[in-house]
C-alpha cells in the first residue's frame, strides 16, 4: 500500500479570490532544524529567504530557510551547518558589497508568554549583530552591542546600493545604532540615538523604556522613523548627517503612560510626562505604535499597534479585547514633521472573526522595507 506524502509540497488554500501558499512547520523542522520564521526577502536567484528565531524545542537559533520561489517547497538552509547564530530575528543584505547582517530577539520559549526581565540576565535575549558573507554564506563577524544594544530587532541598510552603512533599533534600552564598514574592510557599530527611560510607578519596573520595536528609512535615505511601543510615540529623524541624527517630528498614539492609565510618570528627562489618550473616528487607540510602513513618496506613514500576542496580552490587555488598529500619519517630507490623519482608521476589532491583532504592513508592488537595490 502506498502511503501518500502529505508533507512533500506546500498546501494551497483559497481565501476569497486569492490563493495562499502554506509552508508547514514540519518541513522547517525536518529539512532545516528551524522554527519560528520571521523576516522574508526575495533573492535575485528567484528563491525566497526567511530568517528563523529558534529551533523546534524553543531554544534560540538564528538560521535561514530557502524556499523555491515558484513552488514554495523548502530547499534547505542558507547558512552552513554549525554556523547558525545564537538567536535570530531580522536581516538585510547588500549584494553589491557581498554582505548580509542579521539581528537577534530571544529564545522563543522565553518570550512567547510575555517579557520577564530575569530572562535577560539569564541570557535568553540577544544583543549582537551577525555579519555574513553573501556569496559563501559564512559568518564573518559578531558585533556585540553591549547593554545599550540589548534586543536588536529591525535592521535597515540605506537604500543607496553604494552605501555601506545603516541603522538598527535596539528595543530594551531604546537605542539606535549605526553600523558601517570600516576602512579596514570589517564592520563596526556606534550608538547614535538614545531614548531615555522614564521613572514610573504602577508598572512592572521602576523605569520604563521606550521599547523601539520598528524602524524604517525613507526611500531617499533622508529620514529615519521608529516607534516607541511603550512610551507611545513615533519619531522622525533627519539622518543627512549619518552619525548625528536630528529629531524633526514626533507624534503620540496611545502607549503605557496615558494620563488616565495605571502608570504614573515620576520623572521624565524629555519632559513629556503623561500623554493624552488618542481617539480617532470615535475609537480609542489601545496599545502603542508598533509596525511602520512608509509610502514610496515619503508622505504617508502607516502604523499598526500589535507587537506579539504574548506581549500584547501582558502590556495592553485592552487591545486583546478590542483588537488592534491601523492609523495614518501625514509626513512633512521637506522640513520634517508628523501629524495624525484624523479621518483614517482601520479597526481590526470589527473583523468578522475578531477582534484581530494586525501586525505587519505591506504595499502591493514594493515599499520602503521590502525593496533591495542591486
For 73-136, what is the HEC assignment? Answer: CEEEECCCCCCCECCCCCEEEEHHHCEEEECCCECHHHHCCCCCHHHHHCCCECCEEEEEECCC
Mean pLDDT value of segment 118-136: 97
Cβ proximity of 75 and 101 under 8 Å: no
User: What does the CA dihedral 121, 125, 126, 132 come to, rounded to 10 degrees?
Assistant: 150
Q: Is 135 buried (19+), middle (13-18) or exposed (0-12) by CB count in 10 A? A: exposed
Q: Which residues of 196-227 are buried (b: 16+ CB within 10 A; e: fewer)?
A: ebbebeebeeeebbbbbbbbbbbbebebbbbb
Please state which architecture CATH assigns to domain 19-194. Answer: 7 Propeller (2.130)
Q: Is the pLDDT of residue 1 over 60?
A: no
H/E segment holding residue 293: strand 292-294
Instruction: Decide which of 317 and 11 is more confident.
Output: 317
Retrieve residue 140's grid coordinates: 564573518
H/E segment holding residue 320: helix 317-322
For the chain, the structural domain boundaries read: 19-194, 244-374
Mean pLDDT value of segment 159-175: 96
Model pLDDT, residue 20: 64
Q: Tell me the pTM.
A: 0.92
When pLDDT is cut at 50, 70 and 90, the band that residue 16 belongs to is low
Q: Is the pLDDT of residue 285 over 50?
A: yes
> Distance (Å, rounded) from C-alpha 325 to C-alpha 323?
7
Model pLDDT, residue 155: 97
Mean pLDDT value of segment 234-257: 98
Model pLDDT, residue 208: 97
Write down the residue that cell numbers 495562499 correspond to: 20
Q: What mean pLDDT, rounded, does the chain reach?
A: 92
What lies within 8 Å, CB to CB, of 267 at 6+ separation is 198, 199
Mean pLDDT value of segment 338-367: 90
When pLDDT is cut at 50, 70 and 90, the band that residue 3 belongs to is very low
The percent of residues in the chain predicted with pLDDT above 70, rounded, is 94
pLDDT tens digit sequence for 207-230? 999 999 999 999 999 999 999 999
| Torsion angles phi and psi, residue 344, rounded to 5 | -125, 125
Model pLDDT, residue 22: 77
Cβ proximity of 175 and 152 under 8 Å: no
When pLDDT is cut at 50, 70 and 90, the band that residue 26 belongs to is confident
H/E segment holding residue 309: helix 309-315
Quickly count: other Cβ atoms within 10 Å of residue 326's Cβ: 18
Model pLDDT, residue 370: 73
Model pLDDT, residue 363: 83
Model pLDDT, residue 329: 98
When pLDDT is cut at 50, 70 and 90, the band that residue 12 belongs to is low
When pLDDT is cut at 50, 70 and 90, the band that residue 8 belongs to is very low
pLDDT tens digit sequence for 64-98? 999 999 888 999 999 999 999 999 999 999 999 99
Please state whether 180 falls in left (phi above 0), alpha (psi between -120 and 50) or beta: beta
**What's the half-sphere exposure (Cβ side, CA atoms, 13 Å) at 111?**
24
Amino acid at each position: 500500500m502506498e502511503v501518500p506524502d502529505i508533507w512533500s509540497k506546500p498546501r494551497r488554500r483559497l481565501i476569497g479570490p486569492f490563493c495562499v501558499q502554506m509552508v508547514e512547520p514540519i518541513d522547517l523542522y525536518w529539512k532545516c532544524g528551524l522554527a519560528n520564521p520571521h523576516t522574508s526577502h526575495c533573492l535575485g536567484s528567484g528563491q525566497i529567504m526567511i530568517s528563523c528565531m529558534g529551533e523546534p524545542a524553543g531554544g534560540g537559533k538564528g538560521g535561514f530557510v530557502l524556499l523555491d520561489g515558484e513552488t514554495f517547497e523548502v530547499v534547505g538552509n542558507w547558512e552552513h551547518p554549525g554556523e547558525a547564530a545564537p538567536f535570530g530575528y531580522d536581516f538585510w543584505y547588500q549584494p553589491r558589497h557581498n554582505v548580509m547582517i542579521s539581528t537577534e530577539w530571544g529564545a522563543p520559549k522565553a518570550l512567547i508568554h510575555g517579557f520577564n526581565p530575569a530572562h535577560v540576565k539569564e541570557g535568553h535575549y540577544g544583543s549582537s549583530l551577525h555579519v555574513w558573507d553573501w556569496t559563501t554564506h559564512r559568518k564573518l563577524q559578531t558585533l556585540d552591542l553591549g547593554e545599550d544594544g540589548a534586543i536588536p530587532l529591525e535592521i535597515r541598510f540605506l537604500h543607496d546600493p553604494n552605501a555601506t552603512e545603516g541603522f538598527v533599533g535596539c528595543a530594551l534600552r531604546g537605542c539606535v545604532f549605526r553600523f558601517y564598514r570600516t576602512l579596514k574592510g570589517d564592520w563596526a557599530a556606534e550608538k547614535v540615538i538614545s531614548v531615555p527611560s522614564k521613572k514610573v510607578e504602577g508598572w512592572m519596573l521602576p523605569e520604563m523604556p521606550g521599547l523601539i520595536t520598528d524602524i524604517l528609512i525613507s526611500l531617499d535615505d533622508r529620514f529615519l522613523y521608529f516607534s516607541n511601543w511603550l512610551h507611545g510615540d513615533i519619531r522622525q529623524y533627519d539622518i543627512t548627517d549619518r552619525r548625528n541624527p536630528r529629531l524633526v517630528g514626533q507624534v503620540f498614539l496611545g502607549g503605557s503612560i496615558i494620563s488616565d492609565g495605571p502608570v504614573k510618570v515620576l520623572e521624565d528627562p524629555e519632559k513629556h510626562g503623561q500623554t493624552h489618550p488618542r481617539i480617532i473616528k470615535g475609537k480609542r487607540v489601545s496599545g502603542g505604535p508598533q509596525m511602520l510602513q512608509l509610502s514610496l513618496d515619503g508622505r504617508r506613514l502607516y502604523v499598526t499597534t500589535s507587537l506579539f500576542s504574548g506581549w500584547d496580552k501582558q502590556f495592553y490587555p485592552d487591545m486583546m479585547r478590542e483588537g488592534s488598529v491601523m492609523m495614518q500619519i501625514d509626513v512633512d517630507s521637506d522640513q520634517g514633521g508628523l501629524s495624525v490623519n484624523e479621518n483614517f482608521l482601520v479597526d481590526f476589532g470589527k473583523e468578522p472573526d475578531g477582534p484581530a491583532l494586525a501586525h505587519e504592513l505591506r504595499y502591493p508592488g514594493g515599499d520602503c522595507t521590502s525593496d533591495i537595490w542591486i
